[in-house]
Amino acid sequence: VITIRSCSSLRLRPHGLRPAPYVHFEFFEFGQQETSAAGEGSDPRFEQSFRFPVDMDSADFSEYLKQASLTFTVFDENEEDTEAMLGRASMPLAELRVTNSVQHELPLQDLRLQPAGSVTVSIELRDVAQPKAISLQAAGTDADGAAVQLQSAARGHTTRSATAGDGPVPLVLRLQRLVLMEEVQRQEGLTSVAVEVDFFGLVPDLKTPAMKPKASGNNVDFEHVIQITTKCPEADVLRRVVQSHDDQDSDIFLTVVASTRTGSKSLGVAFINLKEQSRLGSGKSVTLPVRGPDERSVGTLEVSLDATAAVHRAVGADTLRVDVMELLSYEALRQDTSVAELFVEVDMAGLKDATHLKTKALKKNAAALDFGYSHSVSLAPGSRAQQELQKSLKSGNNEDSDIYFVLKGRTPQGTERELGEAFVNLTDLLRDDADKVRVALPLKSKGGGGPTLMVSVLGVDALRRMGTTPAAGAAGAAQPDALRIDVRDLTLAGPAKSDTKIAELFVEIDALGLSGKTVLVTPSVKKKGTGPVRFDYSHTLALPDGSAELAKLRTALVTKDEQDSDVYFTVKSRDPRGDVHELGQGFVNLEQMGRENKDKDGSVDVVSPKGAVIVASLNVSISALGVMRRARAFKPAAAADAVRVEVAGLALSSAVRQDASVTEVWVEVDLLDLASAAQLRTKPQRKTAAALDFG
C-alpha cells in the first residue's frame, strides 16, 4: 500500500488559475499512477492510497525492492506547460526488505536542483488473505425484507427514504474512475464493462451503467447513498460487520464485469473495507487494484467511502466520541528548538470523567504527526455523564458546551507549555443537526495563528435524544435543504499583518449569482493588532423547488468546467482615508464538496491578485449538500396544460444487433395525432453504441 499523504512548502508559479498540485509515480509492473489534484495552496493534503497485489516471495519483486527507487514528481494540473514539474524526490525501496512499513518526508528538488518543498509518503507491505464472499443475512430473516428499496436518480445516484425517528446520516460510496489494462480491453468480443457492487447484500442488483472501455480510462461517476438511522435494518448489518472479529466481513466487493457477444463474464474484483475507512474518517479517494482470477492486476478503480458518521450512528449512537488526527502546517514548531515533543489535551465540555484527556506524545521531527487518538463517553439515559452534559447545554452559556483541544509542547527537560487551542461547540452540532467529521481546526496561540488540527466530534444523535435540541426556528438554526454561507473570521498573513494601510476589512461573496439583487457582504470590521478579525456573518439561500435559482445551481454543478461551481470570497480592505482595495480572493468549490459528500467547514487560503501569494486565511463554512442533491435531481417541469413524453433507454435483441442491414435506430411516437411526426421522433443512434439512451 503506497499512500501519498501531503506536500509542504511547494513553490507554486503564478499562472492566473488556482493551483492544483498532484503527485505522479510508477511502481513495479503497474505502470504510471497519479493522485487527484488538490486545491489547497502550497501545503496540499492528499491522503490517497494505492493498493497493489504482489507476490512478496517472488524473486522478481525481491530484486525490485533491492535495486529500485520510487520517484515522486509533483506537477500543477493548471500549468500551461504540461512538462513543467514543481519538484521531484526519490525513495529507495531497500528499507522494505527489513521492515514492513516506512514513512518519510522527502525533500523535493526542481529542474535546477534547488529546494522545492517536500512530499510525505508511506509504504506498507501487508499480508492480505484472499477476499471471501460472505453472507450477512441473519438466520431466520428474509433478505428481501432487509433490503432497501432504491430509486435511481441522475448519473447513477441512489437514495433510500429514511426511517422515521432519529435524523439519518449518509453512508456514501462513490465509484469515480475505472482504468483497465490494454490487454484486457483487447479481449475478443468485449463490447462494454460495468461494476457490480456487493454492499453487504443490502441492495440487490446494484450496478453501474455499462460503458465502452477507453484506453485513457472511464469516468464512472456513480454514487450510492444509504441513509443510516439507529433502528433501520441497515444499521443492524453495519453493527454486525464492524463488530466482527474478522476484518474481511466488512469488505465491500466491487466486481468488474464485461459484456461480450456470448454473454457476460467477470474480469476482476476490488474491495474497500468499511471498518478501516470509518476509522480514517476522510472519505478521500483511494485507488484500488482490480484483481483477476489469477490474482494479477487487470486495472484500477478509484473509489471513496464516506462512512465515519454512519458507522458511529449504527454502533455508538448513545456515545459522544472525539477523534484527534493529524497536525498540519506546523513548520514554525519544527524550527523551535525549545520543543521536543507534541501532544493534545482534550476537555470534553467539562465532563468529570473526560477532562484533561491526553493523546500520546509525538516527536515533532516525525515525518507526519498523526495522534491517532479516539475517546468515547457513554451518554446512556440517566447516567451521570448525560446529566452533566444536559446541565452544560442548558446553562445559557455556550462556552459551557465547548470541547477544547489544546496543543502542548514538551521541552527536552520535560517542561510543558501551551502552544495553541481551538474548540468545537456541541450547541453547534445540535443547531446544524450534523456530526463534525474530519474538520480542520485552526489553533489560536497568544502570538496569533498556529498549526491546524484535524478532529472529529460525533454524537449529535445522543445529544438530540437528551432533549436539548434548540427550538425550531431558533436564530441561527441551519436549514438542511438550503444553501447556507458563514464567514467567521480572518487571519492576516505575511506583510499584511503589519500593513498600516489596512484599517478595516470586509468580505464580498459571489455565490454563483444565486442571491439575485441581494449583495452578500460582511460588515466592515476594524483591524486590531495581529489577531483574527471576526465577522460572524451568515446568510441562507432557500432555493425553492422549481425556482430559476435552483435551475442555475444545477447548471453550475453539471457543467464540464468545474470552476463554474466556485463560491468566491473577495477580501477587501479600507485604508485610513476610506479608499477600498482588494486584498485577495479565496474560493470553495461546490462540485468538490459534492464528490466528498462533506460540507465545507474550515479555512480558505486568500490569494493576492498580484501573484500566487497567500495573504490571509479565511475561516468559513458552507452547508449545501441537501440543496445540491435536490438541484442535481431537478428537471424543469412541463407546463401544467401540456403533455410531456420522455423516451429513455432501449435494449436491442441479439437478432437486431446481428442484422447487418440495420445501422441506426430511433423511436417514433403516435400521440393521438396531437403533434406532427417530426415533433415525436427521437434522434437516430447507431445501434453499436454501448448504451442506447435517447434522452
More confident residue, 138 or 553: 553
pLDDT band at 81 (very low <50, low <70, confident <90, very high): low
Residues above pLDDT 90, as percent of the chain: 17
**What is residue 669's predicted lDDT score, i.e. its pLDDT?**
83
CA dist., res. 42 & res. 65, Å (int): 32
Q: Provide the pLDDT for residue 444.
A: 85
The mean-pLDDT minimum among 90-104, 273-287, 420-434, 538-552 falls in 273-287
State residue 153's pLDDT score. Answer: 27
For β-strands 483-492 and 21-26, DSSP reports them as unpaired
Decide if pLDDT at 145 tops 60: no
Residue 150 is predicted with a pLDDT of 27
The DSSP 8-state label assigned to residue 207 in this structure reads B
Contact 342, 407 (CB under 8 A): yes
Which ranges of 394-473 would DSSP assign to H, the alpha helix? 426-432, 460-465
Please, what CATH class does the domain formed by 2-124 belong to? mainly beta
What gap in Å lies between CA 339 and CA 634, rounded to an integer? 55
Query: pLDDT-derived band of residue 674, with 50, 70 and 90 as boundaries?
Result: low
Domain 147-312 fold is Immunoglobulin-like (2.60.40)
DSSP letters spanning 329-348: --HHHHT-TT--EEEEEEEE
- Residue 352 in this model has a pLDDT that exceeds 80: no
The type of residue at 103 is Q
Nearest CA-CA partner of 405 in 439, 448, 379: 439
Which residue is listed with cell 461551481? 565
Q: What span, in angstroms and rounded, lies between the C-alpha atoms of 242 and 290?
A: 24
How high is the pLDDT of residue 367?
74
- pLDDT tens digit sequence for 494-527: 888 888 899 999 999 999 888 876 778 888 888 8
| CA atoms of 283 and 305, how far apart (whole Å) | 5
pLDDT reported for residue 108: 92
Question: Which residues are 649's β-sheet partners?
Answer: 693
Specify the pLDDT at position 135: 35
CA atoms within 13 A on the CB side of 510: 13
pLDDT of residue 470: 41
Distance CA 591, CA 483 (A): 14
The residues, any chain, with a CB within 8 Å of residue 511's CB and separated by 6 or more, are 483, 485, 520, 541, 567
pLDDT band at 16 (very low <50, low <70, confident <90, very high): low
* Residues 645/692, Cβ–Cβ less than 8 Å: no
Same fold across 2-124 and 478-637: yes
SS3 552: helix
| Predicted confidence (pLDDT) per residue in 608-632, tens digit | 887 778 899 999 999 888 888 888 8
DSSP of 630-650 = HHHH--PPPPTT-------EE
pLDDT at 585: 92
pLDDT of 163 above 50: no
Spatial neighbors of 11 by CB under 8 A, at least 6 apart, are 42, 86, 87, 110, 116, 117
Fold of 330-474: Immunoglobulin-like (2.60.40)
Overall average pLDDT of the 629-638 stretch: 71
Residue 341 contacts by C-beta under 8 Å, 6 or more apart in sequence?
A: 361, 362, 363, 364, 409, 410
d(CA 339, CA 400): 31
Q: Give percent of the chain above pLDDT 70.
A: 85
Domain boundaries, the chain: 2-124, 147-312, 330-474, 478-637, 639-695
How high is the mean pLDDT of the chain? 80
**CATH architecture entry for 478-637:** Sandwich (2.60)
- Give 278-336 pLDDT, tens digit per residue: 877 656 788 999 998 888 889 999 999 988 888 888 887 788 889 898 888 788 888 88
Residue indicated by cell numbers 447513477: 156
Q: What is the pLDDT of residues 216-261, one digit of tens each?
A: 889 998 888 888 887 788 888 888 888 888 888 889 999 999 998 8
**Model pLDDT for residues 384-415, shown as the tens digit of each residue:** 888 888 888 877 677 788 899 999 999 999 89
